[in-house]
Amino acid sequence: MLRIYMDASATTPLVPEVVEAMRPYWMERFGNASSIHLDGQQARGAVDRARDTMADFFNCHAAEVVFNSGGTEGDNTALFGLLRPGDRLITTAIEHSAIMEAAARLATMGVETTFVAPRPTGLIDPADVEAAIRPHTRLVSVMLANNETGVLQPVEKIGEIIARENQQITRTETGSAPGAIYFHIDAVQGAGKVPLDVRRSGCHLLSVSAHKMHGPKGVGALFVRRGTPMEPLLVGGGHERRRRAGTENVPGIVGMAKAAELAMLGLEDGSIPRLAALRDRLEAGILRIPGSGVNGVGDRDHPVPRVANTTNIWFDHVEGEALVIALDLKGIAVSGGSACHSGAVEPSHVLMAMGLDKTRARASLRFSLLKSASDADVECVLEALPEAVKRLREISPVAAGTLG
Residues that are catalytic? 340
Identified binder of ligand PLP from the candidate list 162, 188, 205, 351, rule CB under 6 A: 188
7 binds ligand PLP (CB under 6 A): no
Identified binder of ligand PLP from the candidate list 220, 251, 252, 320, rule CB under 6 A: 220
C-alpha angle 208/354/346, rounded to 5°? 80
Report helix, strand or coil for 17: helix
Q: Which stretch binds ligand PLP (CB under 6 A): 65-73, 102-110, 112-120, 358-366?
A: 65-73
Judged by beta carbon, residue 194 or residue 378, the one nearer ligand PLP is 194
CA 123 – CA 299 distance, rounded (Å): 13
- Subset of residues 337 to 396 that bind ligand PLP, contact rule: CB under 6 A: none
Amino acid at 398: V
Judged by beta carbon, residue 65 or residue 143, the one nearer ligand PLP is 143
Identified binder of ligand PLP from the candidate list 6, 106, 124, 143, rule CB under 6 A: 143
The least CB distance from residue 278 to ligand PLP, in Å, is 21
- Subset of residues 69 to 88 that bind ligand PLP, contact rule: CB under 6 A: 70-72, 75
Helix, strand, coil percentages for the chain (3-state, nearest 5):
40, 20, 40
Judged by beta carbon, residue 155 or residue 389, the one nearer ligand PLP is 155
- Contact present, 350 and 148 (Cβ < 8 Å): yes
Phi, psi torsion values for 176, nearest 5 degrees? -100, 10
Report helix, strand or coil for 230: coil
- Please count the residues of this chain forming the interface with ligand PLP, following the rule CB under 6 A: 13
- Contact present, 275 and 309 (Cβ < 8 Å): yes
CA 21 – CA 342 distance, rounded (Å): 41
CA 297 – CA 293 distance, rounded (Å): 9
96 binds ligand PLP (CB under 6 A): yes
98 binds ligand PLP (CB under 6 A): yes
Judged by beta carbon, residue 256 or residue 289, the one nearer ligand PLP is 256
CA 121 – CA 150 distance, rounded (Å): 11
- Subset of residues 193 to 212 that bind ligand PLP, contact rule: CB under 6 A: 209
Give which of 17, 10, 61, 54 is closest to 248, Cα–Cα.
54
189 binds ligand PLP (CB under 6 A): yes
Q: Which stretch binds ligand PLP (CB under 6 A): 185-193, 232-240, 244-252, 338-346?
A: 185-193
CA 56 – CA 204 distance, rounded (Å): 16
Judged by beta carbon, residue 180 or residue 206, the one nearer ligand PLP is 206
Judged by beta carbon, residue 256 or residue 332, the one nearer ligand PLP is 256
Handedness of CA 302, 192, 140, 218 (dihedral sign): positive
Which H or E element spans position 54? helix 38-58
The least CB distance from residue 71 to ligand PLP, in Å, is 2
Which residues in this chain contact ligand PLP in the complex, by CB under 6 A?
Answer: 70-72, 75, 96, 98, 143, 147, 186, 188-189, 209, 220
